[in-house]
Homo-oligomer: A and B are copies of this chain.
Amino acid sequence: MAFSWTGRVYWEDTDAGGVVYHARYLNFLERARSDWLRSHGFAQSELKERYQRFFAISRVEIDFRHPAHLDDELDISVVLQSLGAASLTVTQDIHRGDGKLLAAARVRVASLDTAAFRPARAPEEILKKLKTELR
């Protein structure tokens, strides 16, 4: 069962083409990942304070299939594909409320040290929880 996040398209997300501005999808993807971590018990604000770690995006691939419009409901999945000590990869699909696939993304996330901004092992507690998602 993949984690799924539901949100809505507001004026701020659209552009003069009448549809959602392409970069905004990355914002939606990030909100979904944040709530996915939260569903595992990790608020990123605590991650920083308790572990001196934060997650940074190191790579994004995204295919835009169909545009989203004002007032559309969006469902965004988060599926963990791989998990290393200092990085993880997820795939995320963006579906409209009626089930139409709008965009598909693959996102690589790095665990960084808040001081040096360098790759650093993610907290053991998080790695353990996330590992349960891999199978």
> Contact: A44 with B71, CB < 8 Å?
yes
Distance, CA A117 to CA B17, complexed state (A): 10
> Contact: A10 with B30, CB < 8 Å?
yes
Secondary structure of the A side of the interface? mixed
Distance, CA A26 to CA B58, complexed state (A): 14
A82 on interface, CB distance cutoff 8 Å:
no
Chain A contact-residue range equals 35 or more
A27 on interface, CB distance cutoff 8 Å:
yes
Name, among A11, A16, A59, the residue most crowded by chain B CB atoms within 10 Å (CB to CB). Answer: A16
> Contact: B63 with A62, CB < 8 Å?
no
Asked if A56 meets B10 with Cβ closer than 8 Å, knowing A22-B26, A27-B23, A44-B70, the reply is: no
